Structure 1
């Protein structure tokens, strides 16, 4: 405990030094990542150097302060050890809850069907006599029982962490995969840069430094070596992404993953010597606030942007002209996405809705989808012409484009949903604020959860995920990024593919 009996010390200083911080009641205790002694040592060193020089503080008072700082350091080390121990316990509890919730989810899908079928079978058995009917009923019950037993089996999906990509100096907002045949991914970061990475080498091949604010979104052109980024500087940029793939492999590999504790801060030196680009091909202006997202329309001749000024803008890439400004949302826009083959766009907003904009006719039409109770963080198209939306209300909904009234399926979770992605096979990947990534099918049935331990997975909010195209022959076919400044490359395979 701190000793505060020195008469020379002002009473308010004594009270501030001796007061203990209030205990947190939250279960998600932030983990201290750096060594306690290294954190406080520079301050103590400066304090000692000040003591050696001239000072107006009396020597007795200075000596007493020195002793108090030593005691603070010891208490900090004790709290650090307790924090580590509590985090380990929380990790264990979270793993147990995940396993229990998975079993509960699997049970809930088939029991209603069993109950209905059983009641029908028994009523039919009472009304019709004869042993043959009893045998038929028995066969039906056996089939339904087998169905329930099979529902308890684990998912036939294997998820393994293959590679990590690090070097950004701040949180990463979005990760995107290049077109088929280009083994590249792109990242947009709050450190004002966007990066192009080699999937297999794990190295950054090009860093774009043309924005003056956080880079919030990144998208590859569907057929050319161009990249579209959106930024907090109220603009969207189109820039060249011509890179050389034959570079030496990076430090990260499958064998190195999981060996040792991750540092809370990535090594900035990993991007030293990386080619940089500062001049865009096109700068698209017209918004009066932060541009949160941007995407190419089919063909890549036009782009759509979504901004905090409550509008979405449609631009012509070649002329840089603003073709149309789309208004209607009541609050800030959070995301936008376009259809893979048709001139359809969805925009998400903090007003709890997302809108479908149809540009297939000369006069565009708009449809409003209402179903969430909080901010819609993203909405994306599927190959089956459905839309999947995620929200801060901890739910994901699957919609039919022809029916706006109610969703086809609803997935509920225990954490806010960020920028989700749907694979060509219809697997919905959901990134959460609680550092988890879960996989579901379009019917709302849970498939798997990406592994996350003290040595694997993200250590901060997972902000975005992206799927590689099927049959891409890449070692990683799924990518996630977050505010731990890391991009993780995963191999997600079904048993028949493994």
Structure 2
């Protein structure tokens, strides 16, 4: 079912003006109360902020669509749309750019909490996985579910997609509590997986494709990351270093590095090139983002507009931490949420970060591209 929703976006700045000699757009930001018309109340502090994106304001709050925790959010490949999934079994779609409206709320795709989502790279489709043991494919132009797979004998925690066969087809990989990893192809008749990897018998919490779609990275509650060759259905090597459950995996824009986050409160960057000079393949260990005690699968992400110079992950401290990968230092510690941050996602073209939280809200925020 698809329906319009009365949810809203709230900009922390309301009145735009151009005042620099180079005509760079700036915004007058009211730090304090604003009236219903968007003008600062008496006593509000006014300052000018230089803009770096096409957002309505440097920080925009998206709220009201979901009645439960938002467990994941992502930008569409072109950056013009946002998708979010929730513990309330719904999927919301939003416009990234002003007026930042919630365009649809899908209410009958899954029968239980939805844990992860991915936009298709080649079709107007959205892939989702759920605690109802299924993976679904939905046409986002109509809100109609195209396929639904009984994917696992347990909660499905993570999905990813990759182009296959020269780019004309797309494979989806899913991992769940049953410890099995399966690959799905909607162009193949039937509802059986086209590839099945038995795994090592422990619940899978994160899956990710390699850049060429020839390998799958799998993380679970055994703290390790297995790298599978999907043609041979065999483990090529294992990445060891985390001391607690793997929370998320993400491949870099160059496909040379893998990002992993964990309940051990570290984020690690791994060298996954075919030939690595490092015996452990561990490239960088990043700290400063406490995972918390809620055992929430918080999704980490690479920046895309700068080729992967930054990475980000949310934490149990209600903030989002952004690092410079090569320097290893924290660039930003972003507050704003009132609950554990469940995902971070970078815009594909502009210096914008999207975050979601157990507080049922999302935040869009500009970051300085020169930092």
C-alpha RMSD of the superposition: 2.3
In the alignment, structure 1 residue 335 sits paired with structure 2 residue 234: no
The structural deviation recorded for 1:404 is 5.8
Distance in 1, Cα, partners of 2:302 & 2:319? 16
What is residue 179 of structure 2 aligned with on the other side? 310
Please tell me whether the aligned partners of residues 181 and 199 of structure 2 are also in contact (alpha carbons under 8 angstroms). no
Q: How big is each residue's C-alpha offset from its partner over 1:256-313, in whole Å with a ceiling of 9 and x where there is no partner?
A: xxxxxxxxxxxxxxxxxxxxx4x51011123100001111122452210010111111
Q: Deviations over 1:40-81 (max 9, x none)?
A: xxxxxxxxxxxxxxxxxxxxxxxxxxxxxxxxxxxxxxxxxx
Instruction: Specify which of 88, 97, 112 is matched with residue 191 of structure 1.
Output: 88
Aligned to 2:5: none
Distance 1:323 1:423, change over 3 A: same
1:423 aligns with 2:303: yes
Q: Which residue of 2 aligns with 1:165?
A: 62
Tell me the distance in 1 between the aligned counterparts of 2:58 and 2:221.
Answer: 33
Written as runs of structure 1 = structure 2, the 5 A alignment for 1:57-96 is: none
- State the distance in 1 between where 2:181 and 2:58 align: 36
Instruction: Considering fraction of residues, name the structure with more helix.
Output: 1
Q: Counterparts in 2 of 1:110-129, with a 5 A limit?
A: none
Partner of 2:115: 216
The superposition leaves residues 79-135 of structure 1 with CA deviations (integer Å, 9 ceiling, x where unpaired) of xxxxxxxxxxxxxxxxxxxxxxxxxxxxxxxxxxxxxxxxxxxxxxxxxxxxxxxxx
Partners of 1:188 and 1:373 in 2: CA distance: 28
Q: Is the 8 A contact 2:122 2:170 kept in 1?
A: no
> Residues of 2 paired with 1:370 and 1:398: CA distance?
12
| Alpha carbons of structure 1 residues 386 and 414: separation in structure 2 relative to 1, 3 Å | closer
Q: Distance in 2 between matches of 1:161 and 1:351?
A: 40
Gaps of 5+ in 2: 1-50, 293-297
Residues 381 and 388, structure 1, Cα contact 8 Å, conserved in 2: yes
Q: Which residue of 2 aligns with 1:461?
A: 340
Q: Distance in 1 between matches of 2:265 and 2:126?
A: 31
Q: Are 1:408 and 2:283 counterparts?
A: yes
Give distance in 1, aligned partners of 2:288 and 2:104.
Answer: 37
Number of positions where the alignment pairs a residue of Structure 1 with one of Structure 2: 296
Deviation at 1:364, TM superposition (A): 5.0
Pair 1:287-2:170 in alignment? no
- Distance apart, 1:197 and its partner CA: 0.8
Whether 2:365 is the aligned partner of 1:490: answer yes
1:70-469 matches, within 5 Å, as 161-166=58-63, 167-180=65-78, 183-200=80-97, 201-209=99-107, 210-242=109-141, 277=143, 279-298=144-163, 299=167, 300-318=169-187, 319=189, 320-359=191-230, 361=231, 365-384=235-254, 385-401=256-272, 402=276, 403=278, 405-413=280-288, 415-416=290-291, 418-424=298-304, 425-426=307-308, 427-443=310-326, 445-452=328-335, 457-469=336-348
For the 8 Å contact 2:289–2:320, the answer to whether it is kept is no
Judging changes above 3 Å, is the alpha-carbon distance between structure 1 residues 414 and 188 closer, same or farther for their aligned structure 2 residues? closer
Q: Is the 8 A contact 1:411 1:444 kept in 2?
A: no
Distance 2:213 2:146 in 1: 26
**187-196 vs 438-447, which moves further:** 438-447
Report the Cα distance in structure 2 between the residues aligned to 1:169 and 1:215, rounded to whole angstroms: 13
Deviations, residues 349-392 of structure 1 (Å, cap 9, x unaligned): 11101122233x46554422111110110121112311111111
* C-alpha separation in 2, matches of 1:195 and 1:357: 33
Q: Is the 8 A contact 1:174 1:481 kept in 2?
A: yes
User: Which structure shows the bigger proportion of residues in strand conformation?
Assistant: 2
Q: Shift of the alpha carbon at 1:494? A: 2.4
For residues 385-444 of structure 1, the C-alpha deviation after alignment (integer angstroms, 9 at most, x for no partner) is: 111111111111111113562511111225118210011332111211111111112225
- Kept in 2: contact 1:409–1:444 (CA 8 A): no
Q: Counterparts of 1:170 and 1:444 in 2: how far apart (Å)?
A: 38
Paired with 2:248 and 2:343, the residues of 1 have a C-alpha distance of: 10
Find the counterpart in structure 1 of residue 349 from structure 2: 470
| Structure 1 consecutive aligned stretches of length 4 or more whose deviation exceeds 4 Å | 157-161, 361-365
Distance 1:351 1:178, change over 3 A: same
Distance 1:369 1:330 in 2: 17
Residues 197 and 233, structure 2, Cα contact 8 Å, conserved in 1: no
